[in-house]
């Protein structure tokens, strides 16, 4: 059995989670709209109302942004 290599650069240059852009595209809102709402300091309720999605959806998008940033593509390269 091959040992797991945990050295820098040993991970693939992609992520196993969807990007914020993909998530926005899937629910039908603009990625830039979401970033603007966050920059304006809108609450998730205000942003959800503005973009006509549920608060739970907006909570998930905000959480993803604050946890992973604009781009969630991570790797060892």
Q: Is the dihedral of CA 57, 63, 68, 69 positive or negative?
A: positive
pTM of the entire predicted model = 0.73
Q: How far apart are CA 58 and CA 5, in angstroms?
A: 37
Q: How far apart are CA 66 and CA 15, in angstroms?
A: 17
Q: In tens digits, what is the pLDDT along the chain, a chain of 77 residues? A: 445 455 555 555 565 678 899 899 999 999 999 999 999 999 999 999 999 999 999 999 999 999 888 765 554 44
pLDDT of residue 76: 47
pLDDT of residue 19: 85
CA distances for 26 relative to 30, 54, 58, 66, angstroms: 10, 14, 13, 19
């Amino acid at each position: 059995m091959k040992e797991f290599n945990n050295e820098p650069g040993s991970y693939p240059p992609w992520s196993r989670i969807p990007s914020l852009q993909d998530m926005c595209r899937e629910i039908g809102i603009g990625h830039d709209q979401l970033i603007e709402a966050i920059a304006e300091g809108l609450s998730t309720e205000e942003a959800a109302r503005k973009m006509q999605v549920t608060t739970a959806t907006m909570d998930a998008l905000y959480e993803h942004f604050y946890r992973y940033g604009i781009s969630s593509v991570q790797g060892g390269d």
